[in-house]
Every structure is written in structure tokens, then in C-alpha cells.
């Protein structure tokens, strides 16, 4: 588990991984569907490496400057979220959310592209997603709980949507340091 001495160290780690941050037009640019999985194999490998270096749960291609429909998700326990349920590495190309539960759960989210800030975001508790896996196979998968939250967050990036856009109120926005001190369960 990676531990940072301060939120400034965490932000420096994000910058060192070349993550595109809020305000950069690449985060809002349209993303293209991938026709041939071989076109993004190296990109997926790079995304997994950066996700793990940052000790995160998800990363979308636009966050590293690539305007294609690709996301990687791997939920592991971290110092910020030590109790979250784990989910194995899932690489998704051209993901489409087919169905979602009516039930919404509001919880804290952060984002590498919005470094140092967190906010309360409502998300569907369960979703069903169709995508191409890293081998080019069409997969339909169900995601629940925290994994569903991460997938929705990353798929939003493919449409130029940041978690801040999903917050019903900016009243809950806080720094990572304040989250750790005052809001973490």
C-alpha cells in the first residue's frame, strides 16, 4: 500500500505520472471508438502501469491525453480507502453502460484529474456494461457497489464529464486532507 506524507506529495505523484488535470481541453475532447484492439494494446498497458503507480482504482484514456474510449479499473485497498472491497483488473475498450439500478448511493469520490479535492457524488449501485476486453472479446459484465462507482466515474471521462459535474451541490467539496481528518468512516 502506497502511503504519502502529505496531500502535496500525492499531487506531486499525480504530476509525475503525466495525468491531464482539470482545465486541460483534452479532458473535454470527444473520444473515438476503437475498431482494432491492437491499436490500443500499448495504451492499455501504459494505463495499467500508471494506475498502479498512482495506487488508484480507475483511469480513463483522456486522463493521459489519449482521446479514445478505453478505461482500466482495479480496486485495491489503499491508505485513503482501506476498507473498500477489491475488484480485479478489468480493461475496457468502447464501454457502454447497458443497464443500471434505480438505486443511487451517494459517496465520496476523488479524481487524479482534480488533484487534492473530493466530493459527494450519487451513483447507481449496480450497472451492466458491455465492452471489448484486452483480447478483443465482447464482454458483458455486472458491477456492484464501489466497483460500479469507479466504472461510472471512468466512463464519464470518455464523455468529458468530471465528478464535479455529477455533484448535486458543491457544498460537500473538500480537500483530501480534510476528508482524511473529518469525513473518512
Query: DSSP labels for the chain?
Result: ----SSHHHHHHHHHHTT---TT-GGGTS--BPPS-GGGGHHHHHHHHHHHHHHT-SEEEGGGGT--BSEEEEEE---SS-TTSPPEEEEEEEEEEEEEE-S-EEEEEEE-TTSTTEEEEEEEESEEEEEEE-TTS-EEEEEEEHHHHHHHHHHHHHHTT--HHHH-S-GGG-EEHHHIIIII--
| pLDDT tens per residue across span 129-158 | 999 999 999 999 999 999 999 999 999 999
**pLDDT: which is higher, 137 or 1:** 137
Overall pTM surpassing 0.85 (yes/no): yes
Cα–Cα distance, 64 to 96 (Å, whole number):
20
> Quick check: 54 and 80 in contact, CB under 8 A?
no
Residue 8 has pLDDT above 60, yes or no: no
Query: What is the mean pLDDT of the segment spanning 8-18?
Result: 54
pLDDT reported for residue 144: 98
Q: How many CB atoms lie within 10 A of CB 16?
A: 11
Asked if 154 is an active-site residue, the reply is yes
Residue 163 has pLDDT above 80, yes or no: yes
Is 183 annotated in some ligand binding site?
A: no
The domain over range 7-183 is classified in CATH as 3.90.45.10: yes
Query: What is the mean pLDDT of the segment spanning 84-113?
Result: 97
**pLDDT: which is higher, 113 or 5:** 113
User: What number of residues does the chain have?
Assistant: 185
| pLDDT tens per residue across span 114-132 | 999 999 999 999 999 999 9
Task: Give me the residue spans of the domains in the chain.
Answer: 7-183
Catalytic residue among 41, 103, 154, 162: 154
pLDDT reported for residue 77: 86
Query: In the predicted model, what is the mean pLDDT of the chain?
Result: 91
Rounded to a whole number, what is the distance in angstroms from the first to the last CA of the chain?
19
Amino acid at each position: 500500500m502506497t502511503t504519502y506524507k502529505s496531500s502535496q506529495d500525492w499531487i506531486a505523484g499525480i504530476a509525475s505520472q503525466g495525468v491531464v488535470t482539470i482545465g486541460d481541453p483534452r479532458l473535454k475532447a470527444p473520444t473515438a471508438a476503437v475498431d482494432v484492439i491492437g491499436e490500443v494494446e500499448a495504451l492499455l498497458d501504459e494505463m495499467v502501469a500508471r494506475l498502479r503507480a498512482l495506487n488508484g482504482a480507475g483511469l480513463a484514456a483522456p486522463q493521459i491525453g489519449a482521446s479514445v474510449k478505453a478505461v482500466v479499473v482495479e480496486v485495491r485497498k489503499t491508505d485513503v480507502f482501506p476498507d473498500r472491497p477489491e475488484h480485479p483488473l478489468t480493461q475496457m475498450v468502447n464501454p457502454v453502460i447497458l443497464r443500471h439500478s434505480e438505486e443511487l448511493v451517494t459517496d465520496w469520490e476523488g479524481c487524479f484529474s482534480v488533484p487534492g479535492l473530493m466530493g459527494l457524488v450519487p451513483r447507481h449501485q449496480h450497472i451492466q456494461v458491455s465492452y471489448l476486453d484486452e483480447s478483443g472479446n465482447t464482454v458483458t459484465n455486472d458491477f456492484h457497489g464501489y466497483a460500479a462507482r469507479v466504472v461510472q466515474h471512468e466512463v464519464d471521462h470518455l464523455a468529458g464529464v468530471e465528478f464535479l459535474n455529477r455533484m448535486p451541490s458543491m457544498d460537500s467539496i473538500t480537500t483530501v486532507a480534510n476528508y482524511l481528518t473529518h469525513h473518512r468512516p
